[in-house]
Amino acid sequence: MARRVATVCIALLLTAQLGVVHAGGCEQLASRLHLPATTLTLATEVAAGAFRPPRGAPAAPYGSLPTFCRVAGTIRPTSDSDIRFEVWMPSKGWNGKLVGVGNGVWAGNISYREMVGPVLKGYATAASNGGHEGDPLDAGFAAGHPEKLVDFGYRAVHETTRVAKATINAYYDRAARRSLFASCSTGGRQGLMEAYRYPSDYDAISSMAPANPWVPLLVSTLWTGNAALKSEASRIPPAKFALIHKAAVQACDADDGVTDGIISAPLRCHFDPGVLQCKGRDAADCLTAPQLAALRAIYQGPRDPRTGKQIFPGYVPGGEALFPLKTAGPEPLGSSLTYMRALVFKDPKWDFRSFDYDQDVERARQVASSVTDVPASGLDRFFADGRKLLLSHGWADGFIASMSTVEFYTVLVTRLGATRADQALRLFMVPGMGHCSGGDGPFVIDALSALDSWVETGRAPERIIASNPPGALPRTRPLCPYPQEAVYSGHGSTDLEQSFRCSAPGP
In this structure, is the dihedral angle defined by the CA atoms of residues 427, 430, 434 and 437, taken in order, positive or negative? Answer: negative
DSSP 310: B
Using alpha carbons, select from 340, 132, 371, 104 the residue that is nearest to residue 220. 340
Q: What SS3 class is residue 192?
A: helix
336 is known as an active-site residue:
no
Helices 289-300, 214-229: crossing angle, 10 deg rounding:
170
Of 201, 397, 440, 452, which residue is the catalytic one? 397
**Measuring CA to CA, how many Å separate 52 from each of 65, 117, 416, 476?**
11, 15, 45, 33
Which uninterrupted H or E stretch holds 339? helix 334-339
Strands 388-394 and 425-430: parallel
Distance CA 30, CA 34 (A): 8
34 in active site: no
Is the pLDDT confidence value at 12 over 60?
A: no
Look at the pTM and tell me if it is higher than 0.85.
yes
The fold of the 23-213+375-503 domain, in CATH, is Rossmann fold (3.40.50)
Torsion sign across C-alpha atoms 52, 56, 62, 63: positive
Q: Which amino acid makes up residue 132?
A: H
DSSP symbols for 429-476: EETTB-SSS-BSS--B--HHHHHHHHHHHSPPPS-EEEEPPTTSPP-E
pLDDT grade for 20, boundaries at 50, 70 and 90: very low
Cα separation, 424 vs 437, whole angstroms: 25
Q: What is the DSSP letter of 490?
A: S
**pLDDT tens string 75-84:** 999 999 999 9
Contact 385, 199 (CB under 8 A): yes
Amino acid at 203: D
Please give the helix or strand (H or E) that residue 296 lies within, else none: helix 289-300
Q: How many CB atoms lie within 10 A of CB 468?
A: 16
CB under 8 Å to 258, separation ≥6 — which residues? 264, 488, 494
Taking residues 438-458, what's their average pLDDT? Answer: 97
| DSSP β-ladder status, 425-430 and 204-208 | unpaired
pLDDT category at 15 given cuts 50, 70, 90 is very low
d(CA 203, CA 181): 8
- Check whether 16 has a pLDDT greater than 70: no
Lowest-pLDDT choice from 141-150, 297-306, 498-507: 498-507
Catalytic residue selected from 183, 185, 207, 336: 185
Instruction: Round the average pLDDT of the chain to a whole number and report it.
Output: 94
What percentage of residues in the chain have a pLDDT greater than 90? Answer: 92
The whole-number average pLDDT for the span 343-355 is: 97
Selected catalytic residue, list 201, 402, 435, 499: 435
Rounded Cα gap, residues 313 and 407, in angstroms = 9
Domain boundaries along the sequence of the chain: 23-213+375-503, 216-372
Tell me the three-class secondary structure of 122-189, residue by residue: CCEEEEECCCCCCCCCCHHHHCCCHHHHHHHHHHHHHHHHHHHHHHHHHHHCCCCCEEEEEEECHHHH
Among the listed residues 114, 145, 116, the one whose alpha carbon sits nearest the alpha carbon of residue 129? 114
Neighbours of 296 (CB within 10 A): 14
Angle among Cα 434, 208, 252 to the nearest 5 degrees reads: 35
Closest by CA to 140, choosing from 108, 104, 102, is 108
Q: Is the model's pLDDT at 4 over the cut of 70?
A: no
Question: Which residues are 40's β-sheet partners?
Answer: 73
Which of the 8 DSSP states describes residue 495?
T
Q: pLDDT by residue (tens digit) across 215-247?
A: 999 999 999 999 999 999 999 999 999 999 999
- Give the whole-angstrom CA distance, residue 257 versus residue 458: 34
- Over 90: is that where the pLDDT of 9 sits? no
pLDDT band at 13 (very low <50, low <70, confident <90, very high): very low
Whether the CB-CB separation of 168 and 98 falls below 8 Å is answered with: yes
Sheet of strand 97-100: strand arrangement: 38-46, 68-75, 83-90, 124-128, 97-100, 178-184, 204-208, 388-394, 425-430
Q: Average pLDDT in the 495-500 region?
A: 97
Q: How far apart are CA 500 and CA 488, in angstroms?
A: 4
More confident residue, 291 or 505: 291
pLDDT value for 200: 97
What are residue 219's phi and psi, to 5 degrees? -65, -40
CA distance 210 to 212: 5
Asked if 270 is an active-site residue, the reply is no
Number of residues that this document lists for the chain: 507
User: For residues 255 and 264, what is the distance between their CA atoms, to the nearest angstrom?
Assistant: 8
Mean pLDDT of 388-406: 98
Is residue 208 over pLDDT 90?
yes
Taking only the tens place, the pLDDT of each residue in 474-492 is: 999 999 999 999 999 999 9
Report yes or no: 436 and 319 within 8 Å, Cβ to Cβ.
no
The candidate with the shortest Cα–Cα distance to 78, out of 133, 128, 152, is 152
What one-character DSSP code corresponds to residue 26?
Answer: S
Q: What's the confidence (pLDDT) of residue 30?
A: 87
